A and B are shown apart, each in its own frame.
Chain A
């Protein structure tokens, strides 16, 4: 493990640095084998009970990951009650199923649903943040989420609404009628959207990192939007470079095969199949690389600029490590017909934790608890269902 950060200079991060700053790395103490047994029993019981056990399974899974995340000798805790999650399941699952079926009976209801979704999603995300914080604890002190609904709409609704509006405009008849001017407006709005996107991601990160609280201690986020532009600009360059690189590799490969296959028909077919497979694999890997690059850089920057009282963070995720983990996980899961899902999940969690350092200039025992009201699980369930990344 790379736990010695001697080269790292620990700057004085707050005024009252009486205690020496301690650098702590969270450890993941679970194992793939152990989690496999928990996972498969969860899956079997869930299928056996026609899905009802799913809520209990989810709580057990999250508890397993929290309890095995150990910081400064103490584990984290997940405290949500399965009953609440079950109610969330019923509401979210019922709504989705009804939408799916109704979509076929009532024409154009899909459009109404999508419009409603843009309006509802920020609220659900707000609820999801509150739920996850409320039921996460460390040293018997609960976390809290202090963000408000308005912040959620600013971070999650403004951009999608603008995007939909310009899309509708593009499809409208206005475009045909005014030709050149309309094309210019479309181009300007497209560029505007592209410029606004990193800012939206910044707002979303700030909404999470600036609104967390551990007991009575509230977090602060000192990040700015500039670096987000840097991240997306570089990922855009990667995105352009990717097809070029893939094209060159595939062309070389295909050329070699062609010169070899003059002799036989079967080799030609194998070569063709090989070229297609190579293209797919390379494209998949490089797409994952871009995706993980954005994730890693955003993660590192956001945690690096967050503070929780006397606690600050350093995150050193590397895009190529993450991309390799994701890519090899996918292959392992595919080849094992899903049986290696638990192993893959543990592997990724372990890597992410190993790249995180918590800097503490004070006493870990000095945080005061706060009273937090109970929270419904609908937002959490929805976030989980659609795989919305809410930053945990």
Chain B
């Protein structure tokens, strides 16, 4: 027999009844000044234990029984049987050692998801998408870029034609993917090139006049073509959707995803992914450059001059979408040495 005292609310009014409770066999008896209830224990639903709060049980008639006698209530639960899952959760929540383990598990899992999980799923999804979907993706990006910051090119027609045929030949010889559109624009960003979603490559006028030779130009183009080859634009979108899911899972029940607490880690993760893609593009591009006989040296020279030109705009690497030029140069040198294509 289990006995304890508690407070009973009949569910019809807010009146509190002080009651004494007895459990005998299958029957739960609640007795108070105005309360006289006998109910079958198996039909009652006890609320799972939570922290140090009172224990609660609902009777089949909608009555509610509260008690602070945790021990007696636990005995009642054992007698009633039923689901044990939340007893385990409560046990976990009551121990600091489990809490410490939970911190470790959370950090470990989040790291695994960020480092391997999200990039892996994004890659698989991006490459299992049909070519057609990849091409419709990002439709209109160039139009909107034209509206907002690009200006029509001022390059001479001959020069454009010469570069186009240079790229065509490079594509043919290296096996790089052929862009669906190859465009020139005047841009406020200085020397730059873009691989836009939908397989479009854009070179800025400033870039064309900045490069010192065809090798440097093709190095930049190869880097952009490598973005296309690896479907980086699509993977970026898929990965940021993954980051969105991950962050909302973690901070979802605390602060909203839209707040700074969620936005900052998401930003750091996304720029880290972006740096990964840049490295991947450098790797692929340098391979093509070696294959076509231009070698890696023009790419290194170009990066070195970019670094000289804009030493200030480059912030700390962990905030940037591109790796620092020095680390890109070091990596390219290493690749060149490993392939033995050229001593530097």
Interface residues of A (CB under 8 A from B): 29-31, 34-48, 50-51, 54, 57-58, 60-61, 63-64, 67-68, 74-75, 77, 93, 96-97, 100-101, 104-108, 138-141, 214-215, 333, 338-339, 341, 345, 364-369, 384-387
Contact = CB atoms under 8 A, between A and B. Distances in A.
A47 B237 contact: no
B133 A365 contact: no
11 contacts: A29-B53, A44-B101, A45-B89, A47-B109, A58-B252, A63-B50, A97-B245, A100-B241, A101-B241, A138-B14, A384-B252
A48 B109 CA distance: 7
Contact of A104 (B102, B138, B253, B257): B138
B314 interface: no
Contacts of B244: 96-97, 100
A37 B14 contact: no
A387 B136 contact: no
Interface in B134-171: 136-140, 143-144
Contacts of B143: 107
B79 interface: no
Interface stretch (B5-13, B25-33, B301-309): B5-13
A46 B249 contact: yes
B92 A64 contact: no
A338 B250 CA distance: 11
B249 A48 contact: no
B335 interface: no
Contacts of B144: 107
Nearest to B100: A40
Most A C-beta atoms less than 10 A away, residue of B47, B51, B64, B92: B51
B213 interface: no
B248 interface: yes
Contacts of B139: 105-107
B56 interface: yes
Contact of A140 (B52, B63, B92, B94): B63
A51 B106 contact: no
Contacts of B12: 368-369
A327 B221 CA distance: 48
A333 B102 contact: no
Report, as a range, how many residues of chain B touch the other chain. 35 or more
Most A C-beta atoms less than 10 A away, residue of B50, B133, B136, B241: B50
Most A C-beta atoms less than 10 A away, residue of B47, B93, B94, B197: B93
B43 interface: no
A97 B241 contact: yes
By Cβ-Cβ distance, the 6 closest A-B pairs, closest first, are A107-B140, A140-B9, A365-B15, A387-B256, A44-B102, A139-B14
Nearest to B137: A105
B241 A140 contact: no
A140 to B, nearest CB: 3
Interface in B244-284: 244-245, 248-250, 252-259, 261
Contacts, number: 166
B16 interface: yes
A54 B252 contact: yes
Given A37-B95, A54-B252, A385-B248, A105 B258 contact: no
B39 interface: no
Contacts of A68: 51, 53
B74 interface: no
B137 to A, nearest CB: 5
A54 to B, nearest CB: 6
B75 interface: no
Nearest to B117: A50
Interface in B38-72: 47, 50-54, 56, 62-64, 66
A387 B256 CA distance: 5
Nearest to A61: B253
A100 B50 CA distance: 37
A125 B249 CA distance: 22
Nearest to B113: A47
A212 to B, nearest CB: 15
A385 B257 contact: yes
A75 B56 CA distance: 11
B241 A51 contact: no
Nearest to A365: B15
Contacts of A77: 56
Contacts of A138: 14
Nearest to A337: B107
Interface string B278-300: 00000000000000000000000
A104 B236 CA distance: 11
B176 interface: no
B116 interface: no
B53 A75 contact: yes
B253 A57 contact: yes
A169 B256 CA distance: 32
A141 B15 CA distance: 10
A21 B138 CA distance: 66
Contact of B13 (A48, A100, A365): A365
B2 interface: no
B237 A101 contact: yes
B14 A101 contact: no
A96 B47 CA distance: 33
Nearest to B249: A51
B249 A47 contact: yes
Nearest to B143: A107
Contacts of B62: 140
Contact of A47 (B11, B13, B52, B250): B250
A107 B257 CA distance: 25
A105 B133 contact: yes
Given A46-B249, A387-B258, A365 B238 contact: no
Given A141-B14, A368-B13, A34 B99 contact: no
A379 B96 CA distance: 36
B341 interface: no
